[in-house]
Amino acid sequence: MRILAIAAHPDDVEWQCGGTLALCKERGDEIIIAVATNGNVGTGDPLITREMIAATRHEEAKASAAILDAHLIWMDFDDEFLTDNRETRERFIDAIREARPDVMFIHSVLDHHPDHRLAGSIARDARIPASVPLVVTNFPPTAIPTVFEMDTELGNHFEPEFYVDVTRVMETKTAMLSSHKSQAAWMMHVFGTEFTENMLIQGRFRGAQACTQYAEGFKLLHDWPYTGDARLLPSK
Ligand SMILES: [Zn+2]
């Protein structure tokens, strides 16, 4: 199968579905990671420009994707200012068409971050025009995939419908998130917490809910046209 995880920022996919992607890779799936913004405000260092941090974060995203031999789609929109307009929608449609996914992971619209909420809603909407021939972009139309919403950061406002036991691949998930080296100091600067630690706390909490050590939580998109098939999630 082909699996597309589409997210707002360079480290989002790793946190919310990195373990599930690792399990998908193990069962032989092709993994595609699409990142909407270039993370170009993700530093508190006054000597680092927007262009410099964007370039750093692109390299970090490539290093993370390389762990799963995943294809990276870098959309390069400005961090914190993702906007719902025609350009953004066409770029998302193109990312879905390029990926040709059987399964797509998207942000929950209940997430705390406006870029996350918008990336989630645009990806959800874009799955349909991505299948429409007269919507012309750089890639040909593709079938509408099964869509799962990813958990929110630290699980606020999100009640998972399905859990994936990611205990066995936590080392891979942690390595992927840790590829985003520039973000450890930045997260501490903005939120006063270490982001790998938060990922582990969330993984343990979802794991406890699912009667295992570490888990990731998802909701299936129940919408028309109904393409949902929860059996497409990997098992441990
Ligand atoms: Zn984010």
- pLDDT tens digit string along 219-236? 999 998 887 888 999 987
Could you tell me the distance, in angstroms and rounded to a whole number, from the CA of residue 2 to the centre of ligand 1? 23
Please report, for the chain, the start and end positions of each structural domain, with discontinuous segments joined by +. Answer: 2-223
CA–CA distance, 97 with 194 (Å, rounded to integer): 35
CATH architecture observed for domain 2-223: 3-Layer(aba) Sandwich (3.40)
The more confident residue out of 193 and 220 is 220
What are the structure tokens assigned to 180, written together? 């985003």
What pLDDT digit, counting tens, does each position of 98-150 carry? 999 999 999 999 999 999 999 999 999 999 999 999 999 999 999 999 999 99
Residues around ligand 1, an ion, CB closer than 5 A: 9, 12
Could you tell me the distance, in angstroms and rounded to a whole number, from the CA of residue 21 to the centre of ligand 1? 17
Q: Which of 30, 15, 24, 51 is nearest to 187 (CA)?
A: 15
Could you tell me the distance, in angstroms and rounded to a whole number, from the CA of residue 12 to the centre of ligand 1? 5
pLDDT at residue 57 above 80? yes
Q: What's the pTM value of the predicted model, to 2 decimals?
A: 0.96
pLDDT at 225: 83
Could you tell me the distance, in angstroms and rounded to a whole number, from the CA of residue 183 to the centre of ligand 1? 11
Could you tell me the distance, in angstroms and rounded to a whole number, from the CA of residue 29 to the centre of ligand 1? 25
CA–CA distance, 92 with 86 (Å, rounded to integer): 10
pLDDT at residue 172 above 80? yes
Could you tell me the distance, in angstroms and rounded to a whole number, from the CA of residue 150 to the centre of ligand 1? 12
CA–CA distance, 206 with 216 (Å, rounded to integer): 6
pLDDT at 169: 98
Could you tell me the distance, in angstroms and rounded to a whole number, from the CA of residue 160 to the centre of ligand 1? 19
CA–CA distance, 146 with 229 (Å, rounded to integer): 6
Q: Is 141 left (phi over 0), alpha (psi -120 to 50) or beta?
A: beta
